[in-house]
Amino acid sequence: MEKVRILIVDDENIVRESLFHWFEEEGYEVDVAEDGETALKKFEKGKYNLMLVDMKMPGMSGLDLLTRIKEIDDEVIFILITAFASVPTAIRALKDGAFDYITKPIDPEELSHIVDKALNQQSLKKENILLKTKIDEIIRPDNLVGESMQMKKIFSLINTVAPTDTTVMIRGESGTGKELIAKAIHINSNRKYFPIITVNCGALSESLLESELFGHEKGAFTGAQYKRKGKFEMANGGTIFLDEIGTVSPKMQIDLLRVLETKQFYRVGGNEMIKSDFRVIAATNENLETQLKNGLFREDLYYRLNVFSIFIPPLRERRDDIELLAQYFLKKFNTNMNKKISDFKRETMDFLVNYNWPGNVRELENAIERAVVVCKEDKVSAEDLPFHVGDVSVLDEGDKSLAALEKRHIIKILQENNWNISKSAEILGIDRVTLYNKLNRFGLKRDNS
């Protein structure tokens, strides 16, 4: 994670030096300027997250600098340093976009508190902006793509549970779209104007997950250089999505159960009880029932989370949706890359529909993205795809047609190139050894093709 960059602007050297050392020890990347003109030049060369600016300086005043900076970047946090006599002017500056002000003599602890508050608010604002940019995409009917009976059932379940505050457990293999379903539930709920906060429980160690969920106080552990809100606190009013809940340690399961029951918790290293109002949606690709039997998952937490269950079937069990999804992703990446690929060749779509998709929708999306990148024609061909669709490791046991399609495609390329192995391998996107292995597997020789 990138360090927060702070620019301190004050014509008094002692103020600049003391604040520089204070915030550097707090873990920030700090720079200084002795006047407004120098600060403006530095800001134009490199972005800063936050500026601490003296109100009265020779030349450009703090207010003038505020106006100029906001014209360049309205997102930068601006905190003014002022003498008591100029407080009315500082208050006017708040209306012009300053976040806050502090009077001299400066109390570093108080200033740190203001900075922490400003950065936390900025973080929440960015998350809300990011959420709003995704809302239209999430609630569009063509984003939750599917006409299979399984997906129609899921859409119905979303419509049923979304308006309630019921806890939801989403089950399914990796890549099936569990987070998308969670967001669809949130956006169609009464909490849609508040954030949905996602936590990938499987990506964090126990100690990191504890800090991530509950937050921490300054000095709670090595590296905790400032107070930080946790995800439960940030989800106040909205929804918290606990992804890969089946990976959580026994100790964290106890902590989770407590906060889910009471909606109250302490930050790590803190003694202030925090209350938060949130809805819980959890997801897992684990077999929680097996974990229950093996004593790896708490029964009380299981029943607390598994109030309303939604199962997303793997893509191989809803092949009717593959062509719709492929067309959706083709349109999406055409737009993103400013391309005009019209469709898939018929044999390419046959490959897609018959492929087993162990990575599910995520793998299909990645495959189409890659195909759009490399496609040079009006339609996507089989060689644009990033995998060898005839590989027996990803085919159903009884799926013989796909291997036959691959065999015919290899013969076609070989015949078009007069059985030149090097050229054919290049066109197929494989090396010579792989092509020879395929020829042996299919029993192909030049005289029997």
Give the pLDDT confidence score for residue 435 in this predicted structure. 79
pLDDT of residue 397: 43
Give the model's pLDDT for residue 139: 54
Contacts of 245 (CB under 8 A, 6+ apart): 169, 201, 282, 283, 284, 305
**If you search the block for the tokens 């759009």, which residue do you land on?**
372
Question: What pLDDT shows up at residue 333?
Answer: 94
pLDDT at 87: 67
pLDDT digits (tens, 9 = 90+) for 327-373: 999 999 999 999 999 999 988 898 898 888 888 998 899 899 999 99
**DSSP secondary structure string for all residues of 35-56:** SHHHHHHHHHHS--SEEEEESS
Phi-psi region of 177 (alpha: psi -120 to 50; beta: other; left: phi over 0): left
Looking at residue 393, what is its pLDDT?
Answer: 42
Q: What angle do CA 116, 122, 127 make, to 5 degrees?
A: 130
- Structural domains of the chain, with CATH: 5-120 (3.40.50.2300), 149-311 (3.40.50.300), 317-448 (1.10.8.60)
In sequence order, what are the residues at sequence separation of 6 or more whose Cβ sits closer than 8 angstroms to the Cβ of residue 356?
316, 394, 395, 396, 399
Block mean pLDDT (10 aa), the chain, length 449? 86 92 91 93 88 91 89 88 73 83 88 90 74 49 75 90 96 91 92 92 88 84 77 93 94 94 90 92 94 94 96 93 94 92 90 86 90 93 70 42 65 83 76 75 69
